[in-house]
Structure formats: C-alpha cells, structure tokens
Amino acid sequence: MSKKVKADVSQWSAASKRSVIAEYKKYYEDEVYDCLSCGKKQCVYSALDQKHDFEVRKRHIWATRTLCSDCWMVLAETRSRLLEFERRWVSERGTLERNADFLNEWRDLLERDAKLRRRPDTARLNMVGKLLERLA
C-alpha cells in the first residue's frame, strides 16, 4: 500500500515553487520504478525520501529516482573518485599523462559513470583514450 506524507510547498526551492504543480501538490506518495542501470524491479522512492529531497535538499520537484539504492551508492562512490582524479589531474598533469595505471583507472571510472548516469563524459573519455594510445 502506498504511503502518503503531507507536502509543505513553502519549503521547496524557488524554481519548484514556480512550477504548476505547486498549486495543487498536497501529499507525496511512494513511487515505484525500475532501476535504469541494473534493471531491478519495484524499487520505491518513498514519500518520506521525496519530502527530504524536495523540502530539505531543495531538489527540483520534477526530479525522479532512476537508480536503485545499490546503483546509487556505486554512482556516489564513482563520482567521488572522479573528483579525486580531476583534482590530481589539475595539479599533476605533467606526470599523470604518462602514467598508464592512473589513466586506465580514470577511464574505467568514466565508463562506469557513463553506464550509471547514461550520459558519458565524451570529451574526457576521448582525452584519456588518446593519452593511453600514445603510451601504447
């Protein structure tokens, strides 16, 4: 049975408040979806999670979940690692562009990120691929 939680539109982001749905949204209800990454069926975006996302985190009201919790955790870890790689690249580019281990791991992270988010960072993938070709 779907759970309902009262919505407090006054706590939404400014952009969400301008949305048409702000006029009539009274409750959040559990939403069932399938994970776009692993295909897991019957994942639930709970009404409580929606309340937190829209009223505390200020996500846009039309944002939906597309990943199950397991895939979301993998994505969060992947993004964190990608940020580390980006920081290292900025400060150590001269040596890292000749480091095959670094480049291979970076490419693997970029490919995992693309699979989970369905949006590849094509420019980065191409750059890392070309650097690896030079080292081959």
Q: What is the pLDDT along the chain (136 residues), one digit of tens a residue?
A: 678 999 999 999 999 999 999 999 999 999 999 999 999 999 999 999 999 999 999 999 999 999 999 999 999 999 999 999 999 999 999 999 999 999 999 999 999 999 888 789 999 999 999 999 999 8
> pTM (2 decimals)?
0.75
How many separate helices (H) and strands (E) can be counted in the chain? 5, 4
SS3 95: helix
Q: What would the two tokens of residue 92 be?
A: 């150590």
Q: What confidence tens digit (pLDDT) does each residue in 88-105 have?
A: 999 999 999 999 999 999
Task: Return the pLDDT at 1.
Answer: 60
At residue 61, the 3 state secondary structure works out as coil
Question: Nearest CA to 65 among 43, 96, 95, 97?
Answer: 43
